[in-house]
Amino acid sequence: MPDLADVILRLGAATLIGAAIGLNRDLHGKPIGVRTLGLVGLASAMATLAVAPSGESGHSVDATSRVIQGVLTGIGFLGAGVIVRRSIGKGVHGLTSAACAWTTACLGLVCGLAAWPIVATGVLFVFALLIFGGPFERMCERWLGAHLKEAEESEAAAKAEAPPPQTDHQS
């Protein structure tokens, strides 16, 4: 078992990372926020720490693998609850928040394993996507919309210039 300072570092990092991702969701008015994602990160790290292999504890890599599988399966239920929270008929909402819950659980697991390069890289990619993903999507939608409109106008102009189709009328 890691010493107390290491446990505090791992659990604290997982909680702070989850809370930071949750803050992003809160600031965007999404259905999952600081407390929920902070707890997801903390719980994932705790579960990993409880069984993470260390020379003294006797826990196996197999036990760690089962805990990781259980956490990732269980977090799917939280994500599903976020997705179906919206009313039916208005499209699918909450997918990014559900993905944030799953990603936060993964980051918590990795904090529990003290794989700091993976944690740091993962956090950078998460915030890059959350901060720049929305504006990038809107830019692509505007660009695609403009090109589709241009294509429709070209098609309409081509039809207007084409001679009417010949029909054979026998009387």
* Amino acid identity at 92: V
Q: Is residue 157 part of a domain?
A: no
Q: Show the domain range for 19.
A: 4-130
Q: Is residue 33 part of a domain?
A: yes
Q: Is residue 101 part of a domain?
A: yes
138, with CB counted inside 10 A (0-12, 13-18, 19+), is exposed
Q: Which of 19, 3, 12 is nearest to 100 (CA)?
A: 19
Q: Is residue 18 part of a domain?
A: yes
Please give the pLDDT value at position 25.
Answer: 93
The C-alpha atoms of residue 137 and residue 63 are separated, in whole angstroms, by 41
Give 125-164 pLDDT, tens digit per residue: 999 999 999 999 999 988 888 888 788 878 877 777 766 6
Query: What DSSP state is assigned to residue 163?
Result: P
Count of domains observed in the chain: 1
Kindly tell me if the per-residue pLDDT of 55 is higher than 50: no
Q: Is residue 38 part of a domain?
A: yes
DSSP assignment of 65-89? HHHHHHHHHHHHHHHHHHHTTSPTT
The C-alpha atoms of residue 96 and residue 107 are separated, in whole angstroms, by 16
